[in-house]
Amino acid sequence: MTTTDAPVAPELRGSHRLTTAKAMVEAIELEMRRDPSVFYIGEDVGAYGGIFSSTTGLLDTFGPQRVIDTPISETAFIGLAIGAAVEGLRPIAELMFADFMGVCLDQIYNHMAKIHFESGGNVKVPMVLTTAVGGGYSDAAQHSQCLWGTFAHLPGMKVVIPSNPYDAKGLMTAAIRDDNPVVYMFHKGVMGLPWMAKNPRTLAEVPEGDYEVPIGKAAVAREGGDVTVVTLSLSVHHALDVAEKLDGSVSVEILDLRSLVPLDREAILASVAKTGRLVVVDEDYQSFGLSGEVAATVTDVDPGLLRAPVVRVANPDTPIPYAHALEYAILPRQDRIETAIHRVTRA
């Protein structure tokens, strides 16, 4: 278990304030400078800079040979990236929205994820699949899903999901350097984009130079003793809002998973062993997914750690509505998280 609030000796390396989007771009830029085999490919990743600012400025720095705009054929360009990876390059392929996985899933889960296994470990696929996830801005049912539970369910891919600028940079560096396929899922609401709902935690000090956030390690976003909230991505910010509001009455510990594959089960168990109460907050669909997996992580080892039943705050298995009021009713926002915390602490 590690914490995110102590970047490596920032006073020695210098640091600067960056949004999550700019921190992600900085990691890509540093790795592209360091390693000529790294390139970025996807829709609108060149002149446009990524529709959620995941590649702003990279085309100007590296040119169209290494920052490649593609036609709208996810199967073709993700397949191209897989081919390039098995031949020794380190592609980063961007699937504009995770919701679009349906048109290219064969390339992702039958090829990218399985080539290493099927070759008896002889062929590596050192690529990163970046993709935007999440709702909260009325982009409706086909552009607002998280779907990380689906990627994590399919074996053969690492899955990382940063919630803040420091982790966004460090996880991107680690993902690029990893010899396995890594799915890097960024929530639009944590990127610090000027046209999204303002979130002060999406702009923070980030060390200059390169560093890695280890894949598979959760972080304690806030220490507490009464209840553990296990969550990730934008929901970390919502949970922190609630914890700050309840400060003085309920002591809330927040665990930011940061990676789903591998899942830091030890960190979950360590926190629940301390608090005895567990709330799982997940913007993905509730059934057959992350929230059940986190609960099972505890009950598989020792159900006696729990002093109250686990409460899940997730999408109640419905497509995401366009209408603002309906969308906010199904998203795991502050009101539902606070209710859940009261439910487990009064049980």
Partner 1 sequence: MSDVLFPALSEKQPDSEGVLSAWFVTDGETVREDQLTAEVQVDKVSAEVPAPQAGVITLLVKEDETVVQGTPIARIT
Minimum distance from residue 55 beta carbon to partner 1 (Å):
14
Q: What is the CA radius of gyration of the chain?
A: 19
Token readout for 269 is 């168990």
Minimum distance from residue 195 beta carbon to partner 1 (Å):
5
Considering the complex, state which of residue 17 and residue 33 has its C-beta at the smaller distance from partner 1.
17
Residue with tokens 């009325």: 138
Minimum distance from residue 13 beta carbon to partner 1 (Å):
16
Token readout for 41 is 């490919």
As a whole number of angstroms, the distance between CA 129 and CA 107 comes to 11
Considering the complex, state which of residue 17 and residue 249 has its C-beta at the smaller distance from partner 1.
17
Considering the complex, state which of residue 51 and residue 301 has its C-beta at the smaller distance from partner 1.
51
Catalytic residue among 111, 143, 187, 237: 143
Considering the complex, state which of residue 23 and residue 172 has its C-beta at the smaller distance from partner 1.
23
Residue 237 annotated in active site: no
Minimum distance from residue 305 beta carbon to partner 1 (Å):
42
As a whole number of angstroms, the distance between CA 262 and CA 89 comes to 24
Q: How many CB atoms lie within 10 A of CB 9?
A: 10
3-state secondary structure of 17: strand
Minimum distance from residue 219 beta carbon to partner 1 (Å):
24
DSSP β-bridge partners for residue 185 = 131
Residue 251 is given by DSSP the state -
What residues line the site for partner 1 (CB under 8 A)?
16-19, 22, 192-195, 198, 203
Contact 179, 126 (CB under 8 A): yes
Exposure class string for 300-330: b at 16+ Cβ within 10 A, else e: eeeeebbeeebbbbbbeeeebbeeeeebeeb
Considering the complex, state which of residue 121 and residue 194 has its C-beta at the smaller distance from partner 1.
194
Residues that are catalytic: 143
